[in-house]
Amino acid sequence: MSGLNTSSVARLDGRTLNPLESLISSKTARIGVVGLGYVGLPLAVEYASAGYVTVGIDLETDKVDAVTQGKNYIADVEANRLAAVVRSGKLTAKSDYDSVGSLDIIFICVPTPFTPSKDPDISAVLSAAKEIASRLRQKQLIILRSTTFPGTTEAYVRPILEEKGLIAGRDFYLAFSPERIDPGNKSWSTTNTPVLVGGITPECTRLAALSLQQIVPHIVPVGSPKIAEMAKLLENVFRSVNIALVNELAQLCDRIGGLNMWEVIDAASSKPFGFMPFYPGPGIGGHCILVDPFYLSWLARQHDFQTKFITLAAETNELMPFYVKNMVLREISMMPVSLREAKIVILGVAFKKNTDDVRHSPAVKILQLLLSDGARNLWYSDPYVPQLSVDSQTMESITLDEELLRSSDCVLIIADHSSFDYEMIVRHARRIVDTRNATKGFPFGREKIVVLGDGA
């Protein structure tokens, strides 16, 4: 158990010092991170690198084994930093919750997907809360990081943690601080992206902010967990709505003809105020932007309210893989080859460029749709994703070279990784469907390139 003295300590200025504050400031607080995925592992590495003894908890033994061996599996984590903190003993990983009682601060970073009917699935959060509750002791700080709907921290997590008689805000501390991970972003990371923090009491907020300030310099306290939860949804719904807008306009440009949506966006971007550029694509992926609008619409229905605008935007984005699939079918139909015999190569199956993240990737949906329509010769190339599961089948990435391009009937660009040689692609591919405008700037080969929103 931790050596935390639960009595208050006098400060030099006469005010009382919360004993947890002393542990945080002296770097003797023990940190727990439940969930070692895209959110949890970077967080655990940062605390361990800052000198805190950190324990990662994950029920997936392969993740625990990897961390124990100092092996990295998240692209946004520096492999050498992970190996260093494991060697130093600052970071360990467990596949059970037995160590919870010895921890002082516990972050919950588990997945929050939606169900097939698009309702929130916070079962992993509730399960983690129950495991923590059975081992909870006084003066521990619990911080929920998983993206969720407003009210989760107070209406769902808090009652579970209080089941054995300890009271949040008095006996232990509880707050919500949403993750703001942008996979593949080299400019903004766990350590320099401002963090929102909302506790159920001012002291909960203060202690949560202090704990996060040890690894992130810019902390933004807010009035409650609900505000932080809603702010996180707003951030992602804002992107969803604007992406849906340009996706719809891209389809309109294709219908009208003679209008290039990419040029339209560039032109509008010249305005120094009142406009922020968003770009069309084959669909949205990742965890948050796809999921969050449905979390918000579900919450609205609980209050007899319909988020029509937000739901329509989400549906527009969800339909983009169907639109892209039809673009491919149209091009194949004009070739002397059937869909069943056509060799279709997809470039980039991650949900965004320069990452290995395939969560909800539109490429997977497009592959499924092409398969269901009769395509049989489907291949993909992605230097970040060596294997991909599609309809319970495992596909393997193939090397992108001139021979592959010349032998293909259609090349479909989904994730425009910087490592792709686009000049080679344009020179040697027979037909290209470009959903990212990656082939922009090549004056040759335009007659065989179809760009989403090009209006050609």
Q: List the catalytic residues.
A: 288
Q: In what order do the strands lie in the sheet with 91-94?
A: 91-94, 54-57, 31-34, 105-108, 141-144, 173-176, 195-199, 219-221
Residues 155, 439: Cα–Cα separation, whole Å: 50
In a 10 Å sphere around its CB, with 0-12 CB exposed, 13-18 middle and 19+ buried, how is residue 12 labelled?
exposed
DSSP of 189-226: -TTTS-EEEEESSHHHHHHHHHHHHTT-S-EEE-S-HH
- Rounded to 10 degrees, the C-alpha dihedral 24/30/34/38 comes to 60
Relative orientation angle of helices 308-318 and 225-256, to the nearest 10 degrees: 50
Query: Which residues are CB-neighbours of 219 under 8 A, at least 6 positions away?
Result: 194, 195, 197, 209, 212, 213
Count of Cβ atoms closer than 10 Å to residue 169 Cβ: 14
Token pair listed for 246: 């340009």
Give Cα 263 to chain centroid, integer Å: 29
Among the listed residues 334, 393, 325, 313, the one whose alpha carbon sits nearest the alpha carbon of residue 363: 325
Contact indicator for 452, 280 with CB cutoff of 8 Å: yes
List phi, psi (to 5°) of 46: -65, -45
Contact indicator for 374, 340 with CB cutoff of 8 Å: yes
Token pair listed for 187: 């400019």
